[in-house]
Amino acid sequence: MKENGLGADVVSEGELRRALLAGFPPSSIVFAGVGKKEEEIEFGVKNGILCFNVENEEELNIIEKFGRKYKKSITCNLRLNPDVGVKTHSYIKTGKEENKFGIDLATAEKIIKSSKRYKWVKIKGLHFHLGSQIKDVSPFIEAIGKVKKFCLKVNFKPEILDIGGGFGIPYRPDDRVCDISEFGKKICDSLKDFGIKKLIIEPGRFIIGNGGVLIAKVLYVKRRKRKNFIIVDAGMNDLIRPSLYHAYHMILPAKLRKNGKIKADVVGPICETGDYLGKDIEFPSAPEIGDFIVVMGAGAYCFTLSSNYNSRPRPCEILVNGKREKIIREREKYEDLWRGEK
């Protein structure tokens, strides 16, 4: 990603340190997030990142304090809450008024009108983020329209506009997602008369979501009158999206057999009924004990959300390039589970 000219959007000091370790120049890093700690803000200021996406007035005062301490002018974008709804799970809607994110337009107006009181904070742009897994471009166009009206009202000409991320990917074969080129064209058309110098987008899921799969081993096949269960060695601790968001992931057998179709819930060994990877999955052939199943679309918001629940070590990660493969994260050992405990 770095070698292709991309930057990084971070929401914690840990993510910022990870981006720096990966070689991203600080000038290509944006620090977002609704709850930045003072030490995290200071770390960003010291490292000279591109900008902060600011979520409230108190945060601006902290940034000003560290700008004064290090004698640095610090670029900031105000994160607006445009009160735009999107068709996605309620947990990942981030642009509605009732959500914790962003600054309401009335407060943002007050901040902009009083911005001359800051010596080191330079409010140069605006930011919004509507949510995740958005399948068409219309919410972005609506939000951009609201931003334009806001800028006209308060006589503010932003140099930077960060329209966030959330551009969706197909998780099902029949998912209809706006083509990325259409998305780009309509966004650019809506901004032609806006005069910004820099447009920032955060297409993380689009880049990596369908680039990863989870491979699990079949432990048992439990057939019942009302429902069948394929019990595998991966659970909600490895991939929590189905339990957390009721998300759908296509699941396929790694090996086709000549034993007929089966419809089954794919479940793990965790001690909760909510421990499932898929419900009523229709397999073209019935997996048997020792077979492997492949959970598709596991590249985004999967491993990073994994845990050691039920004292289960997390799996390894393997990077595949053509016929070459490399372990890029080692499988955890049992002793890793209690390392650091006393």
C-alpha–C-alpha distance, residues 9 and 6, integer Å? 10
Looking at per-residue pLDDT, the higher value among 97 and 133 belongs to: 133
Torsion sign, CA atoms 117, 123, 126, 129: negative
Beta-sheet pairing, 51-54 with 74-79 = parallel
For residue 48, pLDDT beyond 70: yes
pLDDT in tens, 24-43: 999 999 999 999 999 999 99
Tens-place pLDDT, residues 237-282: 999 999 998 999 999 999 999 988 999 999 999 999 999 999 999 9
Checking if the pLDDT of 95 tops 80, the result is no
Looking at residues 151-175, what average pLDDT do you find? 93
d(CA 9, CA 202): 7
User: How large is the average pLDDT for residues 87-108?
Assistant: 67
> Which helix (H) or strand (E) element contains residue 206?
helix 204-208
Listed residue (181, 169, 252, 244) closest to 211, CA to CA: 169
- Residues marked as catalytic: 271
Q: Does domain 2-208 have CATH number 3.40.50.300?
A: no
User: Max Cα separation, the chain?
Assistant: 74
- How many CB atoms lie under 10 A from the CB of residue 293? 24
The DSSP annotation for 253-289 comes to: ESS--SS--EEEEEE-SSSSTT-EEEEEEEESS---T
Distance CA 281, CA 309 (A): 25
What's the angle, vertex CA 224, arms to CA 219 and CA 226, rounded to 5?
A: 130
Of 260, 302, 264, 292, the residue nearest 171 (C-alpha): 302
* 94 confidence band (pLDDT: 50, 70, 90): very low
What gap in Å lies between CA 29 and CA 162, rounded to an integer? 12
**Does 139 score more than 80 pLDDT?**
yes
pLDDT of residue 85: 57
Give the C-alpha separation, 276 to 242, whole Å: 7
Burial 35-70 (b: 16+ CB within 10 A, else e): ebeeebbbbbbeeebbbbbbbbeebbebbbbbbeee
Residue ranges of domains in the chain: 2-208, 212-337
DSSP 8-state assignment for residue 138: H
CATH fold match for the domains 2-208 and 212-337: no
Mean pLDDT of the region 114-122: 96
For residue 73, the model assigns a pLDDT of 97
| Cβ 131 vs Cβ 92: under 8 Å | yes
Cα torsion 18, 21, 24, 27: sign: positive
Q: Considering only the top CATH level, what class is 212-337? A: mainly beta
